[in-house]
Chain A
Amino acid sequence: DGGITQSPKYLFRKEGQNVTLSCEQNLNHDAMYWYRQDPGQGLRLIYYSQIVNDFQKGDIAEGYSVSREKKESFPLTVTSAQKNPTAFYLCASSIVTGEAETEAFFGQGTRLTVV
C-alpha cells in the first residue's frame, strides 16, 4: 500500500546522544516535511525539502539536521544541541505542482522521550 512510514514509533534518548528518526514514502511525492508537536500545541515546522539534495529550515531548525539523498527518504537527526527534544515528531509529504493545491499526508509519528 502507498503511504508514509515513520520508525521507530517510540524512541528513548539519553542526554547528549544523537538519534535519527526515519521517514520513508512510496507516494512519489516531491516534498517532504518534519514537524514537531508538543502537548496541547499545534505543529511547528522543523525542516522541509521540495527536491532531492535540497532542503530548507523551518521555524525551529536549531538542534536538528536532515538529509534528502533519495526522493523516498527524509531522515531527521535530533542532535545533542537540541535541549528539549521530548515531543511527538511527524513526517509528511505532498505533491509540488504549479497550483496551490498541496495537501500534506502524514506518517504515524515518532514519540521521542529523553531519559
Chain B
Amino acid sequence: QKEVEQNSGPLSVPEGAIASLNCTYSDRGSQSFFWYRQYSGKSPELIMSIYSNGDKEDGRFTAQLNKASQYVSLLIRDSQPSDSATYLCAVNMGYGGSQGNLIFGKGTKLSVKP
C-alpha cells in the first residue's frame, strides 16, 4: 500500500515564528515531492516542489528532502496569519511506470496566531 503520512495537527505557531511541517512516504522509489496549501473550502495550490536530496528555498518557504529516510518537510519562516491553512504533502509514486500519479497525505492544519 503506497502511503503518505502527515501529522494532522493542528499546529499552532505565533506570528513571526518558524512553522515546521513534516511528511513521510512509503515508496522508496518515489522521485517527485510537492507541497500544496489549501484554504478552507478552496482547492489546493502548489507552493513548492522538490526532486533532489537537500534543501530548496523559495521566499519564506524551504522544502527539505531526505530520500534515505523517506522524509520531506516544509519550513515557513516569519509565519503570517495568512499562512493559516491546511498543508498537503504529495508524492509522485507512479502507477506501473507511468508518471503523474500523485498520492496525497491527509494534510496538516496550520494556525498562525497574531
Contacts and interface: CB of A to CB of B under 8 A. Distances in A.
Interface in A56-88: 56
Nearest to A102: B100
Contact of A48 (B46, B49, B101, B104): B101
A20 interface: no
Interface residues of B, number: 27
Given A42-B106, A101-B51, A107 B99 contact: no
Given A45-B101, A48-B101, A103 B49 contact: yes
Chain A residues touching B, range: 20 to 34
A33 B95 CA distance: 13
B88 A100 contact: no
Interface in A34-64: 35, 40-45, 48, 50, 56
Contact of B32 (A40, A96, A100): A100
B71 to A, nearest CB: 18
B34 A43 contact: no
B102 interface: yes
A112 interface: no
A21 interface: no
Nearest to B30: A100
22 contacts: A33-B102, A42-B104, A42-B105, A42-B107, A43-B88, A44-B104, A45-B101, A45-B103, A48-B100, A48-B101, A94-B100, A96-B98, A98-B99, A100-B31, A100-B99, A101-B32, A103-B34, A103-B49, A104-B46, A104-B90, A106-B44, A109-B43
